[in-house]
Structure 1
Amino acid sequence: MAKVKDVNLSQKLSSELQSQIWYGDICPGEKLPSQRVLAERYSLSRATVREAVQDLELKGIIETYHGGGSLCRNLLESHFSMPSESIGDNFEFQVQVMEMRAALEGEAAYYAALRASDEQLDRIGQEYEAMQARSSGNTTLAKAKADLRFHTMIAEASHHLLVISFSQIFYNRYFNAIYGVLDRTLKKFGRYPDGISAQHTQIYQALINRNAELARKVATEHIDYTRRQLEAS
């Protein structure tokens, strides 16, 4: 009877962890809490926790590394086979990337305004302040990375698994195209576009005010503005 009870407990824990993954409480690429922490948190034996973790691994939801813990997998990655090389500097493709970013980041900001925890908003605020302080004097590459880090944090605060998963893949695979957009613009105008900093402020304020519709609007307009700068170059 005790063995049946342990199996039921491990299944319940597996289901609980799956729910946290589906709702973006544990993001793709993020480590699960250690088995010791899970055992203490849920008042379970280490053996029961180990069975739950093994169940998640067998289902392909996580990957476990010896001595390195368990990582939540990005379940979209194996289905994403679009090319990533040799097209990053293509103007027409850069425009498409910006069009996709406008839709993606609008939705990410919308759900982040609704669902982000206070702790996540605090971290986004810290990144926003750091990004504002770094806005002058940095290389184009550093600015592109800082911009994406800010938007990635917003996506991860959306608690929307598809938005998080696709954002991670999209930003990683097409970073060269995103960097190329900023590089083209800087070469044309000789400076960082004037409106970008103010737009980051609008996005951040909409998030902390939990105004989802405004967050979607200003995040979308932010990318559309950058796309127009690209097309003007």
Structure 2
Amino acid sequence: MTDDAHSDQAFRKLERERVADRIMEDLRDQILRGALPDGSRLPPERDLTERYGVSGATVREAVRALTAMGLISVRHGSGSFVTASADRMIALSIASAIQLKHVGAAEVLDILGTLNAHAAKAAAVHATDEEIAALRAAAERLASIDSVDESVHALKRFLRLLSEISRNALLATLCRFFADLQVELGIAISGGPKLSEWRRVAGALHPERLAVVEAIEARDGDLAADRVTAYHQRALELVTATPHAAEIRISDPGYSHVIAALLSSRPVAGTR
């Protein structure tokens, strides 16, 4: 085969890849604009090849790229479906950064405190009385810890509500990821879902949670932010109280497992 033939093959391959990229970008734009909403079925491959005037191989290449981004899920025998969730996309990005930069567990736990302080300050201004009442009810469910599963569910709900009533959608999405991660890390670091340890951590924080609610009820944003900061500092102290916890980094198998589990389960069902 001549050099010219080799060059021609390379050129055709490059052009095909560029076409696939353009198809991927067009479909991604439709997904992000909502023209192809979350849960909807992607048009069949045959329809896409006709629409774009390309081969099936080029369409499949574009779909593979969207699948790698977490925007499409291919179900063999059923087709391709849109799985574009803001929670999942942010989780993928943040978790990748955590792993790439070898961020420690304590650093991850600290981030949620900063985010929730902003959320609490905004909630004191923007939340309705009904939303604040729901936040108090969520906090009251944690007055006694009788079951790990039930208290984990209640704690995630409290943290999610705290961010959601801020009326800042991006902030709430970031907080949801870190809240779930904080709770799961707390369980992992304490050696597993042991009721006695969970009572020591989650149970001891009940007064701090109520203090946050009271500040938001008083519509005092600065006080609410200060109390959230105090709550998270205390939580960090309790969660990292064991000698092993202070040394946990991304290389720790338990920590890596928590990250992987959150990625595979986003969005987390039943905790909102």
TM-score (norm: length of structure 2): 0.50
1:202 corresponds in structure 2 to 211
Aligned with 1:116 (options 124, 127, 151):
127
Q: Is residue 2:221 matched to residue 1:212?
A: yes
Superimposed CA distance per residue, residues 44-77 of structure 1 (whole angstroms, 9 cap, x where no aligned partner):
xxxxxxxxxxxxx9461442546xxxx9942782
Counterpart of 1:115 in structure 2: which amino acid? Answer: H
Superimposed CA distance per residue, residues 123-170 of structure 1 (whole angstroms, 9 cap, x where no aligned partner):
2122223332xx23222x432332121010010000112211212233
Q: 1:212 to 1:137 in 2, by over 3 A?
A: same
Superimposed CA distance per residue, residues 93-134 of structure 1 (whole angstroms, 9 cap, x where no aligned partner):
3212221121111111111111112221122122223332xx
2:93 corresponds in structure 1 to 80
Percent identity over paired residues: 15
1:229 corresponds in structure 2 to 238
Q: 1:213 to 1:65 in 2, by over 3 A?
A: same
Q: 1:65 to 1:83 in 2, by over 3 A?
A: closer
Q: Does structure 1 retain, via aligned residues, the 8 Å contact 2:190–2:197?
A: no
Q: Which runs of 5+ in 1 are unaligned?
A: 1-56
Q: 1:192 to 1:171 in 2, by over 3 A?
A: same
Q: Is residue 2:160 matched to residue 1:152?
A: yes
Alpha-carbon distance between aligned partners in 2 of 1:137 and 1:191, rounded to the nearest angstrom: 8
**How many residues of Structure 1 are paired with residues of Structure 2 in the alignment?**
167
Secondary structure of 1:158's counterpart equals coil
Alpha-carbon distance between aligned partners in 2 of 1:108 and 1:170, rounded to the nearest angstrom: 13
Higher-Rg member (1/2): 2
Alpha-carbon distance between aligned partners in 2 of 1:190 and 1:171, rounded to the nearest angstrom: 16
Q: 1:231 to 1:169 in 2, by over 3 A?
A: closer
Q: Does structure 1 retain, via aligned residues, the 8 Å contact 2:136–2:210?
A: no
Q: Does structure 1 retain, via aligned residues, the 8 Å contact 2:123–2:162?
A: yes
1:164 corresponds in structure 2 to 172
Alpha-carbon distance between aligned partners in 1 of 2:84 and 2:135, rounded to the nearest angstrom: 22
1:143 corresponds in structure 2 to 151
Q: Does structure 1 retain, via aligned residues, the 8 Å contact 2:127–2:167?
A: yes
Which runs of structure 2 are paired with 1:1-233 in the superposition (5 Å)?
A: 58=30, 60-62=32-34, 63=37, 65=39, 73-74=85-86, 77=89, 80=93, 82-83=95-96, 93-132=104-143, 135-139=144-148, 141-172=149-180, 175-181=183-189, 191-193=199-201, 195-233=204-242
Alpha-carbon distance between aligned partners in 1 of 2:140 and 2:209, rounded to the nearest angstrom: 10
Q: Does structure 2 retain, via aligned residues, the 8 Å contact 1:77–1:169?
A: no
Q: Does structure 1 retain, via aligned residues, the 8 Å contact 2:145–2:199?
A: no
Q: Which runs of 5+ in 2 are unaligned?
A: 1-28, 41-82, 243-272
TM-score (norm: length of structure 1): 0.58
Q: Does structure 2 retain, via aligned residues, the 8 Å contact 1:113–1:208?
A: yes
Across the aligned residues of Structure 1 and Structure 2, the Cα RMSD in angstroms comes to 3.7
RCO (CA 8 Å, sep 6+): is it higher in 1 or 2?
A: 1
